[in-house]
Amino acid sequence: MTSTPVTRDLEGKVALVLGGTRNQGAAFAENLAARGATTVVSYAGDDAAAQHTLAVLEKHGVTAEAVRSDATSSADVDALFAGVVERHGRLDIVVHVPGAVIKKPLADTTDADFDHLIGLNTRSAFNSLRATARTIADNGRYVILSTTLTSIMTGTYGVYSGSKAAVERMVLAAAKELGARGITVNAVAPGPIDDDFFRGAETPESIAAAALHNPRGRLGHPQDIAPVVAWLVSDEAGWVSGQTVRANGAMF
């Protein structure tokens, strides 16, 4: 997953990637491990993916853990964060990946659809932001995935876009609250990424159309987004906070 050589600039730091065992989350987690961070990944239920990713992380010579945790449960998230600090002594970097997408017109969106999107996109973000504020070390880094679609807020992604727009406003609020401690809080908004998450919400026709709509003629890859997250968690990005960085190949 790691495509370019990296320095061991994160040695001595502890990182947590919520949803870090598949797709973009796995790419982010490997980057952190390759740079020397003790790396903990959480996952919802795919034990096989968790064990595979754990083995990849351990090849980088770092302490790594995979912990099952429900990002929509405040009790689970609080226990996850507390466990990281208890076992490893500190927490310096948090990357939040969990989310859901439902592609429906508003008229066809059910209450259950709405609750699902708010739970996995908005509530999970609140849970990890609150836990981060309570546990992360001074000068820490928090990065969460949003979506480029919040900038257009149209079509059959309306409720999904709204749930992510709320995330971006919480990011700004948290950045202001935590800035005095040197903690940065940012979002990264990818365009369509060629992974299980995007393909599960689309048809083959819409996937092909999305690729053609990009000036580069393809979907993004997790490796296109990982360097953006990698920079935001670095010391060099210490003056960047409260931002949503759009990484979409000029698609929008």
Active site residues: 160
Please, which residues bridge with residue 38 across strands?
A: 14
Residue type, 133: A
DSSP string, the chain: ---S----TTTT-EEEEET-SSHHHHHHHHHHHHTT-EEEEEESS-HHHHHHHHHHHHTTTS-EEEEE--TT-HHHHHHHHHHHHHHHS---EEEE---------GGG--HHHHHHHIIIIIIHHHHHHHHHHHHPPTT-EEEEE--GGGGT--GGGHHHHHHHHHHHHHHHHHHHHHGGGT-EEEEEEE--BSSHHHHTTS-HHHHHHHHHHSTTSS-B-HHHHHHHHHHHTSGGGTT--S-EEEESTT--
